[in-house]
């Protein structure tokens, strides 16, 4: 993991839920996300990118909610018997020394089941996905305001269909001055279309996924 791709953690919240550390971590500003690591003493157990959607972060007014994480490996960290810490992946600063109920973590770890390759790929692809069209529309509407409605159309097709819009729709496109409700309605129609539903990669892209083509200037 290259620290050049991440920003130092400025805002952090974390707790243990069902034996897994989860929460949110956000930088002071800028487009780069944060990364965090789980340590047992000086041994790194796992790292996670804080790029998923977090309702708790959204409710706290942090980064529009786009700084959530789930940090695996708590049972392994406890097994090494070192001091368990959550650290910033850039500065190595300690963010949390969790108070751990060992019995709950051990019980939770025993419940982990093997998953199929299909289930694994689905989990990987869903990481960082947008929970709904409304959250995507926030960025899409801002993109239209910054770059114009034709640029919005290109970004919408690239994000949801993985391609450029047809020349026919470009010739008749009249999206001048779209408000956020109109943007959300347009995106909803795309998501409900046979083309989107038939794509191999399911899920609405979030702002830190490679398929997301809208401007992310709201993070600055």
Q: What is the pLDDT of residue 3?
A: 57
Q: Is the pLDDT of residue 78 over 60?
A: yes
Q: Which of 38, 66, 13 is CA-nearest to residue 212?
A: 66
| C-alpha to C-alpha distance for 62 and 148, rounded to whole angstroms | 27
Span 39-55, average pLDDT: 95
150 has which bridge partners?
none
Q: What is the pTM of this model?
A: 0.84
Task: Report residue 105's pLDDT band, with 50, 70 and 90 as the boundaries.
Answer: low
| C-alpha to C-alpha distance for 93 and 135, rounded to whole angstroms | 31
Q: Is the pLDDT of residue 131 over 90?
A: yes
pLDDT in tens, 3-23: 569 999 999 999 988 888 999
What's the half-sphere exposure (Cβ side, CA atoms, 13 Å) at 207? 26
Which residues, including other chains, have CB under 8 Å from residue 164's CB and lie 6 or more apart? 154, 157, 158
| C-alpha to C-alpha distance for 27 and 63, rounded to whole angstroms | 9
């Amino acid at each position: 993991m290259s620290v050049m791709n991440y920003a130092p953690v400025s805002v952090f919240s974390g707790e243990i839920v069902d034996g897994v550390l989860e929460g949110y971590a956000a930088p002071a500003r800028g487009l780069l996300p944060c990364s965090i690591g789980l340590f047992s003493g000086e041994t790194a157990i796992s790292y996670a990118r804080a790029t998923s959607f977090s309702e708790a972060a959204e409710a706290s007014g942090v980064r529009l909610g786009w700084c959530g994480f789930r940090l695996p490996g708590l049972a392994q960290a406890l097994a090494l018997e070192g001091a368990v810490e959550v650290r910033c992946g850039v500065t190595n600063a300690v963010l949390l020394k969790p108070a751990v109920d060992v019995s709950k973590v051990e019980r939770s770890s025993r419940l982990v089941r093997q998953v199929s390759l299909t289930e694994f790929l689905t989990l990987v692809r869903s990481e960082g996905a947008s929970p709904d069209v409304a959250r995507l529309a926030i960025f899409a509407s801002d993109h239209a305001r910054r770059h114009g409605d034709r640029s919005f159309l290109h970004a919408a097709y690239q994000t949801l269909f993985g391609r450029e819009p047809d020349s026919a729709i470009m010739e008749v496109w009249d999206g001048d001055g779209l408000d956020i409700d109109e943007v959300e309605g347009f995106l909803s129609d795309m998501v409900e279309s046979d083309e989107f539903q038939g794509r191999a990669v399911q899920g609405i892209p979030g702002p830190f996924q490679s398929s997301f083509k809208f401007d992310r200037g709201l993070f600055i």
